[in-house]
Amino acid sequence: MSDSEFKIQNSKLYLVPTPVGNLGDITFRAVEVLKSVDLILAEDTRTSRVLLQHYDIQTPLQSYHIFNEHQIVGNIVEKLQSGMSIAIVTDAGTPGISDPGFLLVREAVKEGIEVECLPGATAFVPALIDSGLPCDRFVFEGFLPHKKGRQTAIQRLAEEKRTMIIYESPFRLVKLLEQLKEALGEERQVSVSREISKFHAETVRGSLSEVHAHFCNKEVKGEIVVVLAGD
């Protein structure tokens, strides 16, 4: 069997990255896995169905998200133990990276079920490279706490030497930049990427003061990745 060929295994969990923007960013192998498994677990079946229809993938879908994963993870493990092959996808990017996936992987590993994560899209890698900030050493923070513990987390970042990567909602971006200015100083360098690989993709680089001013004067849309220079 060549490296380009594969066979779906029974009783195996596949974590399949999906595009963070352009639907063409999915890998050939990811499409084949999604076509071949017995079941696809989707964070939002409506979002995933757009991708599946685009690639004529007819595999059954089941909802699997942060609000039901604790209730159904045992049932999913039982399906894997019965011989089913299952793939998990999220709305965009790699499952488990600030998205559902970790709990199921942990339980599958605990039960001796084989797990494989396919290589593929994740938002923070292109944002980090595009930032122009050092990328030899970095720390991924994901989403900061919304309320309790947020200021503590930001103060901790002020002492970080490595480049920092933060995910943020477009509705909270301006507030985050304000908080970072207060804690890290107006001249700290930052890069904000949004709508990665989509038609309206944008990366804004500069000091916290400059980037904050840029986003204060416009409506912010899309998924946001903030890349912040270390101390």
| C-beta of residue 47 within 8 angstroms of C-beta of residue 142 | no
pLDDT at 185: 95
Higher-confidence residue of 217 and 226: namely: 226
Q: Which residues, 6+ apart, have CB-to-CB distance to 21 below 8 Å? A: 92, 195, 196, 197, 198, 201
Q: Which residues pair with 39 in a beta bridge?
A: 86
Please list the residues that pair with 105 across neighbouring strands.
none
Confidence of residue 7 (pLDDT cuts 50, 70, 90): confident
Write the pLDDT tens digit of every residue in 132-184. Answer: 999 999 999 999 998 889 999 999 999 999 999 999 999 999 999 999 999 99
Answer whether 12-117 and 124-228 agree in fold: no
- Tell me the CB-side half-sphere exposure of residue 190, using CA atoms within 13 A: 28
Is the distance from CB of 16 to CB of 27 less than 8 angstroms?
no
Cα distances (angstroms) measured from residue 231 to each of 2, 18, 201, 205: 47, 34, 28, 17
Q: Which residue has the higher pLDDT, 26 or 6?
A: 26
Q: What pairing do the DSSP bridges indicate for beta strands 224-228 and 189-194? A: antiparallel
Look at residues 185, 176, 224, 174 and name the one whose alpha carbon lies nearest to residue 207: 185
Distances (CA, A) of 141 to 22, 49, 169, 209: 25, 29, 14, 21
Tell me the two tokens of residue 6: 């594969």
Render pLDDT for 67-84 as a digit per residue (tens, 0 to 9).
Answer: 999 999 999 999 999 999
> What's the pLDDT score for residue 1?
42
Joined together, the tokens standing for residue 138 give: 């970095």
User: Residue 2 phi/psi, 5° resolution?
Assistant: -80, 170
Which band of pLDDT confidence, cut at 50, 70 and 90, is reported for residue 4?
Answer: low
Amino acid present at 118: L
**Stretch among 13-17, 178-182, 189-193, 218-222 having the lowest mean pLDDT:** 218-222
Domain residue spans in the chain? 12-117, 124-228
Rounded mean pLDDT of the chain? 94
Q: What is the mean pLDDT of residues 53-75?
A: 96
pLDDT at 227: 98
| CATH code that applies to domain 124-228 | 3.30.950.10
Per-residue pLDDT tens for 88-134? Answer: 999 999 999 999 999 999 999 999 999 999 999 899 999 999 999 99
Rounded average pLDDT over 1-14 = 75
C-alpha gyration radius of the chain? 19
Helix or strand run (H / E) with residue 194: strand 189-194
pTM of the model: 0.89
Q: What percent of the chain has pLDDT over 90?
A: 89
Q: Which residues contact 87 (CB under 8 A, 6 or more apart)?
A: 13, 14, 15, 16, 33, 34, 37, 39, 40, 41, 59
Pick the CATH number of 12-117 from 3.30.70.20, 3.40.50.1450, 3.40.1010.10, 3.30.230.70: 3.40.1010.10
Task: Flag whether pLDDT at 64 surpasses 80.
Answer: yes
